[in-house]
């Protein structure tokens, strides 16, 4: 049986499709017996779908650097 | 005395932190409204410059972010004015649309359906985006950086580790903290449990 910490790591990894099959199996098994991790895992999945729905965009680091320089010049 | 000091530091403008603290929030706000990343970038730059130039008008009643958003809103309006005047004045005419074979062929009858699911979804997603962004802005710098690289920019674990010189288990600890905080910060009504 894996610990809750391990279960959390697997849950996080599977949000980015980086958990192996055996890991996913261990997580499923753990969740059967652990309510806390079951809630965490469910919420974690929802957070992923919310992030996907929001379609956030970020400025690239380069753009930010340029922006910072512009501000500094004006100061 | 101490209280007053704290209050003052809260309401003072700190332009050198603007980019790290607000650029992403403002950027998302603008992208949704002008639908063009390049234009959005320009608008953010104009906003920051306008903010610097009118810093003396900042009375400290609002937070920095609210104040910057107010400036950005004006910039967005100006942007639409500009493109409108280039195209010639916007015209609103009552006109019958000959090509339409629906019952209501007046233009007014063709406006978007206020209860249409698609539009409501789009609105909700805009709100969601800003809610997430402002939660992300509250994360500690390293968590925000790693989480953004991983989740928003979709970089691989390997690339992030290389770039930031951390090991994978480090990365997952940081991701875990960030996700945990976001779950707590995002208002309960975004979640169904």
Residue-wise pLDDT tens digits, B11-49 = 678 888 888 889 999 999 999 898 888 999 999 999 999
pLDDT of residue B96: 55
Work out the pLDDT band at B124, boundaries 50, 70, 90: confident
Tell me how many helices (H) and strands (E) chain A has: 4, 0
* Range B119-193: architecture per CATH: Orthogonal Bundle (1.10)
pLDDT of residue B4: 46
What percent of chain B lies above the pLDDT cut of 70? 76
| Chain A contacts in chain B segment 29-88 (CB below 8 A) | 31, 37, 41, 44-45, 48-49, 52-53
Q: Which of B83-92, B143-152, B181-190 has the lowest mean pLDDT?
A: B83-92
Q: Give the one of A8, A9, A56 whose C-beta lies nearest to B28's C-beta.
A: A56
**Structural domain spans, chain B:** 1-88, 119-193
* Cα–Cα distances in angstroms (integers) from residue B33 to residues A12, B88, B150, B179, in the given order: 33, 21, 26, 28
Phi, psi dihedral angles at A54 (to 5 degrees): -75, -20
In this prediction, does ipTM exceed 0.85?
yes
Of A44, A38, A20, the closest CA to residue B178 belongs to: A44
Q: Does domain B1-88 have CATH number 1.10.1740.10?
A: yes
pLDDT of residue B54: 87
Interface touch B179/A16, C-beta < 8 Å: no
How high does pLDDT run on average in chain B?
81
In contact, B69 and B26? CB cutoff 8 Å: yes
Distance of residue B94 Cα from the nearest chain A Cα, in angstroms: 37
Domain total for chain A?
Answer: 1
Interface touch B192/A13, C-beta < 8 Å: no
pLDDT of residue A21: 96
pLDDT of residue B8: 46
What percent of chain B lies above the pLDDT cut of 90? 42
Instruction: Give how far the C-alpha of residue A9 lies from the chain's centroid of Cα atoms, to the nearest Å.
Output: 10
pLDDT > 80? residue B87: no
In contact, B14 and A75? CB cutoff 8 Å: no
**Cα dihedral value B135, B138, B139, B140, nearest 10:** 170
How high does pLDDT run on average in chain A?
92
Interface touch A74/B179, C-beta < 8 Å: no
The DSSP code for A16 is T
Work out the pLDDT band at B97, boundaries 50, 70, 90: low
Chain B interface test: which of A59, A61, A64 (most B C-beta within 10 Å)? A59
Domain hosting A13: range is 4-74
Q: Give tens-digit pLDDT for A12-61.
A: 999 999 999 999 999 999 999 999 999 999 999 999 999 998 888 888 88
pLDDT > 50? residue B6: no
């Amino acid at each position: 049986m894996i610990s809750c910490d391990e279960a959390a790591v697997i849950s996080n990894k599977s949000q980015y499709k980086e958990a192996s099959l055996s890991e996913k199996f261990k997580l499923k098994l753990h969740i059967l017996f652990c309510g806390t991790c079951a809630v965490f895992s469910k919420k974690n999945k929802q957070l992923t779908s919310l992030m996907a729905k929001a379609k956030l965009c970020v400025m690239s680091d380069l753009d930010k650097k340029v922006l910072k320089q512009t501000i500094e010049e004006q100061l | 005395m101490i209280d007053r000091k704290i209050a003052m530091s809260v309401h003072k403008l700190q332009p050198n932190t603007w980019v790290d603290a607000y650029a992403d929030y403002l950027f998302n706000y603008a992208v949704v409204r002008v639908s063009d990343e390049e234009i959005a970038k320009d608008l953010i730059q104009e906003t920051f410059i306008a903010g610097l130039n009118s810093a003396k008008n900042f009375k400290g009643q609002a937070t920095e972010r609210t104040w910057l958003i107010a400036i950005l809103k004006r910039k967005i309006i100006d942007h639409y004015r500009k493109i409108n005047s280039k195209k010639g004045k916007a015209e609103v005419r009552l006109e019958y649309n000959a090509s339409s074979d629906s019952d209501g062929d007046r233009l007014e009858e063709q406006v978007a359906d206020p209860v249409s699911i698609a539009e409501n979804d789009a609105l909700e997603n805009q709100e969601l985006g800003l809610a997430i962004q402002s939660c992300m802005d509250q994360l500690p710098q390293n968590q925000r950086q790693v989480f953004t690289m991983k989740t928003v920019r979709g970089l691989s674990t390997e690339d992030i580790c290389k770039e930031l010189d951390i090991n994978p288990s480090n990365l997952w600890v940081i991701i875990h903290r960030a996700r945990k905080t976001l779950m707590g910060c995002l208002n309960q009504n975004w979640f169904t449990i």
